[in-house]
Amino acid sequence: MATPTAPLGGGPTVASLLAAASAQVDAIDAQALLLTALGRAAHDRAWLFAHGEDPLTPEAVAHYRSLVERRRHGEPLAYILGEREFFGLRLQVDARVLDPRADTETLVDWALECLATCAESSPRVLDLGTGSGAIALAIAHTAPSTSVTAVDASREALALAQANALRLGLKLRFAHGSWFDPVAGEEFDLVVSNPPYIAEDDPHLAALRHEPREALVSGADGLDDLRRIIATAPAHLAPGGWLLLEHGWNQAEAVRALLTEAGFESVQSRHDLAGIARCSGGRWRTSSAKLRQFGFSLPPQEAKDHE
Interacting residue with ligand SAM among 87, 179, 264, 284 (CB under 6 A): 179
Task: Considering only CA atoms, give the Rg of the chain.
Answer: 23
CB-based contacts of 148: which residues, under 8 Å, 6+ apart? Answer: 125, 126, 127, 136, 139, 140, 172, 173
> CB-wise, 4 or 133, nearer to ligand SAM?
133
Residue pair 244/279 in contact (Cβ under 8 Å)? The answer is yes
Q: Does 100 bind ligand SAM (CB under 6 A)?
A: yes
Residue stretches of the annotated binding site for substrate: 194-197
Q: How far is CA 260 from CA 281, 282, 290, in A?
A: 10, 8, 14
For 136, the 3-state DSSP assignment is helix
Angle at 274 between CA 269 and CA 279, to 5 degrees: 25
Q: Does 98 bind ligand SAM (CB under 6 A)?
A: yes
* Contact range with ligand SAM by CB under 6 A, out of 19-27, 46-54, 189-197, 233-241: 189-197
> CB-wise, 77 or 215, nearer to ligand SAM?
215
Shortest distance, CB of residue 10 to ligand SAM, whole angstroms?
43
Q: Does 104 bind ligand SAM (CB under 6 A)?
A: yes
* Contact range with ligand SAM by CB under 6 A, out of 21-29, 54-62, 149-157, 255-263: 149-157
* Contact range with ligand SAM by CB under 6 A, out of 27-35, 125-133, 166-174, 233-241: 125-133
Angle at which helix 58-72 crosses helix 14-21, to 10 degrees, equals 20
Q: Does 222 bind ligand SAM (CB under 6 A)?
A: no
Q: Does 154 bind ligand SAM (CB under 6 A)?
A: yes
Q: Does 92 bind ligand SAM (CB under 6 A)?
A: no
Residue pair 117/192 in contact (Cβ under 8 Å)? The answer is no
Shortest distance, CB of residue 123 to ligand SAM, whole angstroms?
19
> CB-wise, 104 or 288, nearer to ligand SAM?
104
Shortest distance, CB of residue 176 to ligand SAM, whole angstroms?
9
What whole-number distance in Å separates Cα of residue 128 and Cα of residue 211?
A: 18
Strands 173-176 and 89-92 turn out to be unpaired
